[in-house]
Amino acid sequence: MKLLLSKISVIAIFLLFISFNSYSTENYKKTTINGTECYVYYVQPGEGFYSISKKFATTRDDVVKFNPETKKGLNKGQKIYIPISSETEGAGGKTVKEPIKHIVQKGESLYSISKQYNISINELKELNKLNSNSIKVGQLLIVGDSKSKEIEASANKIEETTNKEEETKQEDIVKSESKAEEQKYTIPDDKVVIDGVTYNTEKYVVKRRETLYSISQKFNTTVDAIIACNPNLKSLMKDDILNIPMTREVLNVVDEYEAENKHIIINEHESNDATSKELNIAVILPFKLEISGCQSPYADYYKGLLLALDSLKNNGLNANVYTFDTNGNTETINEILQKPEMKDIDIIFGSDKNEDIKLLGDFARGNKIYLVNSFSVKNREYENNPYIIQGHIPSSIFFSAASKHLIEATAYKEVIFLIDNQESNDKQEFVNAICTGLKLSGKEYKRFSFNDITDYEVLNSSIADNSDIVLVASSSSKIGVAKTCAIATRIKESNPTVNVSVFGYPEWQTYIKDYLDTFHSLNTTIFTRFYIQPTKANWKDFNKNFRYWYGEEKSSILPSPNVLGFDTGIYLINGLLRHNNNFEQYLETIESQSIQTDFSFNRISDVGGLVNTNLYFVTFTPEYKIVKEKVK
């Protein structure tokens, strides 16, 4: 089976949510819309533009053209019209899709053309039988995404049968450009000369409503410099690709925009270096497909992982993905590990059960393969296995790191612990650890047990004017949140000169919908392994892409398994792709800029694995800002 990525093959015993079978379209009703023959089709559950475009050999843009209401997505049962793609009879009576052709313009490269037609550089080279990335102005390229042998075999014939006028026009273009180039030295496609100085350029994808001026301001350059890098630019539209000159001023802001996952694209020259090694990836998870109606977070994780692989195809990813359903059975894992292809795997994304991690970990160590544990935070196999990558900070490290950072952050504040004897204080162990740390640092603190009005009055009377206090809750439950916030609000209202803050727990994220305004009012901070900032561009882009590929919304579970699979895949697979020989150094030195879960890996011992030690302190400020602080 083929995955949704070009140059990435999926060898799997199943696919969870996208069917890649060949479909017969002969039985669909036909109608004519604006002179074009179309199929009448009803969207099936779980279908998105990708699966429909594959089923009918069409594109998303063509579907939207005949169904404008689908621009924002598809709905189950929706009636749509699918344009029937034009076909021509090839040699020997074989049916061949009409190839799309492109004439190379000045300033274009294989990379910019690949982005324009949503095709990989390698596919372009295959379709046009190119041995290098070198192309000439006026050259005719086939840019269709079909890889059929009939088209490949007829590529030369198509070029030969292009009408004489077009060929003559191309020759004139080539001659005139060549003559002009003879009068000056040659500048590579990824360089530009401005005021006599040669600069490298990077590609940038134009956003909606952007102008040359706003882009020049974004990159601290000038409109004239951008125009100099894009001599054929006549107008500016969304998704246009611009060359941005990498002047010293621009380089100062590039890292910032890359960190926010903006559309600064890696040069094709770098991408080609990454294709020298084919990656073999195994996904071994308990999808439990045999259980009817089973809603699996592992299936959602897998969806996000596939999106990550699709994103990395533009960076030159060339990989085989082997996917297996363990059905929650350890014996099934034993059978999977006996398969011959497993010996050539580079990385395994594995299960979360202790016995499964032990089994997969032993196999990984014996074959020097990396095993990723993205789910379990209590398993400790990483302590004695150098080939295990612990994707989330383990519980044994998580709470001690959080308490240490809280003590440091409250060095000049008064710490007050709120203990509710009528509520389950499920964070009592954490509270005790903070108290011990405060004692060791010589810092005083207060503990208050509240049951009635008398307890509150004792607490309120103990707070000095103009003080800066942090109220630390002892419960993660919704009732605990309600009581803590109620007491904090009363203290704030009764003591206008007192600066009041509240400290809560990861579980409080599930109550944000009900308590967002209260959290902001009380300058509330929570610590957590994961957090999505809803206003960030990378989160919005992920949602858009997810709906596009799968025709559905992401999982509502926290943390989102869809985003976890995406973040993990982007960081780890990109590390293997770009830094295969120095993968561990990459993990230990290069921090991620993820949507939900960042990665900061450390090898905690000589015999242990690589552990993600990243956690966040997320603060909801009174100015209605959300500050997401990485804690190392």
The torsion defined by the Cα of 51, 54, 55 and 56, in degrees rounded to 10, comes to: 130
Q: What is the pLDDT of residue 565?
A: 95
Higher pLDDT, 475 or 58: 475
Spatial distance between the Cα atoms of 342 and 337, rounded to a whole number of angstroms? 6
State yes or no: pLDDT of 8 exceeds 50: no
What homologous superfamily does CATH list for 279-393+537-618?
Response regulator (3.40.50.2300)
For the chain, residues classed under CATH 3.40.50.2300 are 279-393+537-618, 397-528
Specify the CATH architecture of the domain 18-85: Roll (3.10)
Burial 228-266 (b: 16+ CB within 10 A, else e): bbbeeeeeeeeeebbbbbbbeebeeebeebeeebbbbbb
Q: What is the pLDDT of residue 198?
A: 64
Provide φ and ψ at 625, rounded to 5°.
-110, 150
Highest mean pLDDT among 53-62, 307-316, 444-453, 621-630: 621-630
User: What is the residue-averaged pLDDT of the chain?
Assistant: 77
Residues 269-278 pLDDT 10s: 333 444 446 8
Spatial distance between the Cα atoms of 218 and 12, rounded to a whole number of angstroms? 44
Instruction: Please report which confidence band the pLDDT of residue 515 belongs to, taking 50, 70 and 90 as the band edges.
Output: very high
For the chain, residues classed under CATH 3.10.350.10 are 18-85, 91-182, 191-266
Least confident of 9-13, 58-62, 329-333, 565-569: 9-13
Least confident of 105-119, 166-180, 243-257, 486-500: 166-180
Residues 336-355 pLDDT 10s: 999 988 988 999 999 889 99
Q: What is the pLDDT of residue 386?
A: 94
State yes or no: pLDDT of 154 exceeds 50: no
Highest mean pLDDT among 120-124, 150-154, 519-523: 519-523
The first and second tokens of residue 165, run together, are 């006028």
In percent, how much of the chain has pLDDT > 90? 35
Instruction: Please report which confidence band the pLDDT of residue 293 belongs to, taking 50, 70 and 90 as the band edges.
Output: low
Burial 322-347 (b: 16+ CB within 10 A, else e): bbbbbebeeebbeebbeeeebeebbb
Highest mean pLDDT among 56-65, 115-124, 299-308: 299-308
What homologous superfamily does CATH list for 191-266?
LysM domain (3.10.350.10)
Report the pLDDT averaged over residues 586-611.
86
Spatial distance between the Cα atoms of 123 and 133, rounded to a whole number of angstroms? 12
DSSP 8-state secondary structure symbol assigned to residue 97: E
Which CATH number is 91-182's, of 3.40.50.720, 3.10.350.10, 3.90.1150.10, 3.90.1570.10? Answer: 3.10.350.10
pTM given for the model: 0.60
State yes or no: pLDDT of 149 exceeds 70: no
Does residue 622 have a cis peptide bond before it, meaning omega lies within 30 degrees of 0?
no
Q: Own/partner pairs for 227-231, CB < 8 Å, 24+ apart? A: 228/192, 228/194, 229/192, 229/194, 229/201, 230/107, 231/106, 231/107
Q: What is the pLDDT of residue 173?
A: 40
CATH number, span 397-528: 3.40.50.2300
